[in-house]
Amino acid sequence: MDSPVGEIVGVAGLGTMGAGIAEVCLRAGLSVRAFEPDEELLRSGCASIEASLDKAVERGKATADERAASLAGLRPTTSLGAFSDCGAVLEAVTEDLDVKQGLVSELDAIVASDSLIATNTSALSVTAIAAASANPSRVVGLHFFNPAQVLPLVEVVRTDLASESAIECAARLVEQIGKTPVHCGDTPGFIVNRILIPLLNDAVRAFDEGTADAASIDTAMTLGTNWPIGPLALIDLIGVDVQVHASEALWDAYRETRFAPPARLKRMVEAGHLGRKSGRGFYEYGAK
């Protein structure tokens, strides 16, 4: 893969992460083919991008002209065929191995042979996703963090199947859109989640043990370790269901108690208390 990514990228999946990734690419001056198979989900994802750009203007992080230029580069589509001219496709579809493998396999017949395919998975094996491709050497992991518009890190995940040129191409793309690439191997949790997920679970266990209330635990960690946000508030931000899913994936891989999701988190998911996105988690956020 010697050719550069170019000025056109595809983003598959316009949920929270996909919309954020698409916005980052748009604000970097790239044209984005944004894909959702469902018209309603497509409209919702595009509306999320537009609303986020509006907030950026309100906060002085972008000008009205920059907002207009970004939206001019957005090409929503319900057809994967729209990715045919993309130098790279970044997938952020649901965190399900079969779904991601199916998408990667479909892309083989659509995008050029030298186009990069990147998965934003946070818990699944990038190697297993790449193995579904007829050309796994061009499949890498690009793990963005939520909110993608704000957090500067992207983990560039290398598999044993990936070519050196694909890894270099992925890192250049990350830098092109104003992010900082950090290289890592395809181990469960990569770097950040391997460390963060069990730490957040320990914070929940400290809460359950009666060590302190939620606000005190979060205050202790923000003031005592200079975290910008406390661990329980962070779980609310990323989503209680996301924390449970990531914990289960790491538990399956390592079989260490700290990785297993605490029972409290599972009960919260069953009750629909998913954090900020549902209006209630460890804290109340109002109806959503």
Which residues are catalytically annotated?
Answer: 122, 143, 155, 193
Residue type, 236: D
Q: Are strands 31-35 and 8-12 parallel, antiparallel or unpaired?
A: parallel
Distances (CA, A) of 272 to 45, 217, 266, 280, 288: 22, 23, 10, 8, 12
Question: Is residue 228 classed exposed, middle or buried when 0-12, 13-18 and 19+ CB atoms within 10 A define those classes?
Answer: exposed
Query: How many C-beta atoms surround the C-beta of residue 225 within 10 A?
Result: 9
103 within 8 A of 26, measured Cβ to Cβ: no
DSSP structural state of residue 80: G
134 within 8 A of 6, measured Cβ to Cβ: no
Residue by residue, DSSP assigns 222-287 as: HHHH--SS-HHHHHHHH-HHHHHHHHHHHHHHH--GGGSPPHHHHHHHHTT--BTTTTBSSSB---
- Rounded to 10 deg, the angle between the 192-208 and 240-254 helix axes is 110
- Rounded to 10 deg, the angle between the 263-270 and 240-254 helix axes is 140
Backbone φ, ψ for residue 142 (5° rounding)? -125, 95
What is the C-alpha separation between 237 and 147, in angstroms, rounded?
9
End-to-end CA distance of the chain: 45
